[in-house]
Amino acid sequence: MRRKKKSTRRLARPLCFLRSDPTDNGYVRPIEGIRPVVDLNAMKVIRVEEYGYWPLPPLPGNYAAERVSEKRTGIQPLEITQPQGPSFQVDGYQVKWQNWSFVIGFNAREGLTLHHIRYKDGGKDRSVLYRASLTEMVVPYGDPSPTEFRKNAFDVGEYGMGMCANSLELGCDCLGHIKYFDANMVDSRGQLLTVKNAICMHEEDYGILWKHTDRRLPDKPEVRRSRRLVISSVSTVENYEYGFFWYLYQDGNIQLEVKLTGILSLGTVQPGEKSKYGPLIAPQLYAPVHQHFFNVRLDFDLDGTGNTVQRVDVLPDEPGPKNPHGNAFAAITTPLKSEKQARDHLKLETARTWRVINPNVKNAVGEPVGFKFFPDGQLVPDGLERCVVAEAGRVRELPRLGHAVRREREIRGG
């Protein structure tokens, strides 16, 4: 019996849109009924798949400033100035700011990375993170129709956040006293590729950090303003823009925020119809439901490499002699000793969080020093169990992603 020859072709199914002119927004006129199949090695269309006929959505959706007739009025200028200059110091790609020090990096796959993040505490230079970066993201779509179900993008691995990075502009992408950094990479042929102003760094006022008024001294309130350092980059992946914003705070907190903007990936419906799998946003035009999951690598070096991870759940005590009034609850810590044990879900019912500690270094009250994770949003991937049933032989282990994928928004020190 002859062994089946392994295919070496790389195939893609591009989405098709119609533009009335070179600057027209084609995303609002998707050609729903056809999907060409392209051999990427030969750069040839090998077939065109047809799924029926949908009339094109009738309305334009142009967003360019010169094509928008009605613009918002009545807003006055807002100027941000630092007459004495910024509070940060820069030496190449090394940065110091408010006891923080770190190195900015950039590469074709991950885009913006941070290295050797340290904090000076009482004159002592303490290590926090060896490296922090976005390592992957997946965008699964939930429409099972023949023309939409293949939408499932791994935007970091398939496109590369660095290769899709924007050149940022003062007054548009960044506002205030800005320090820009260029991104130096190589393209697919090994040639130097430089994206000018790919990284933006500036300071922001962030409202009240702390405030208290002693009711016995109502005329003497105490308040501290919050200042944060912003390191950001923006990448355009086809229709979507992803803004990656790392924030360092004066109180030792670290935050990663991902901002999504741009244009939705749209589909066409028949006149007078609606789709169960996405809202109608214009006549015959709908936005298929989907999710965005970001996988972030945080290589901790918290006062050394002897770090461990804990899960924290807030749980009520059982009724009994030690809980006679039934009101007792406490934060219960579970050490996570293996990757298998660490697989878990977000859990709203117990206000679940995670923390990284160094058991060998104690804080002022004798507890291990640590940073705590505060996840933003209670969300897990949809449809994974059903996917396993449908593709049992190929992705049997996929449900583990449902445990591992979580978006970490804020990291707080202690």
- Residue 219 designated active-site: no
Look at residue 150 and give its three-state secondary structure: coil
Candidates 141, 159, 240, 249; catalytic one: 240
Q: Cα(first)–Cα(last) distance of the chain, in Å?
A: 65
Non-local (6+) Cβ contacts of 407 within 8 A are: 258, 293, 294, 296, 375, 376, 377, 379
Which CA distances in Å does 90 have to 127, 170, 376?
A: 19, 19, 31
**Distance, CA of 27 to CA of 356 (rounded, Å):** 44
Identity of the amino acid at 383: G
**Distance, CA of 29 to CA of 16 (rounded, Å):** 9
66-74's contacts with Cβ under 8 Å and 24+ in sequence apart are: 67/23
**Distance, CA of 354 to CA of 310 (rounded, Å):** 6
**Distance, CA of 281 to CA of 100 (rounded, Å):** 45
- Residue 277 designated active-site: no
Candidates 119, 141, 155, 249; catalytic one: 155
Which phi and psi angles does 136 have, rounded to 5°? -165, 160
Partners of residue 100 on adjacent β-strands = 97, 119
Contact between 105 and 115 under an 8 Å Cβ cutoff? The reply is yes
**Distance, CA of 132 to CA of 117 (rounded, Å):** 9
Q: How many CB atoms lie within 10 A of CB 175?
A: 14
Contact between 100 and 87 under an 8 Å Cβ cutoff? The reply is no
DSSP 57: P
3 state SS for 283-341: CCEECCCECCEEEEEEEECCCCCCCEEEEEEEEECCCECCECCCCCEEEEEEEECCHHH
Which CA distances in Å does 319 have to 325, 329, 331, 332, 349?
A: 8, 11, 17, 17, 19
**Distance, CA of 146 to CA of 32 (rounded, Å):** 10
Residue with tokens 């003497």: 220
Active-site residue set: 155, 240
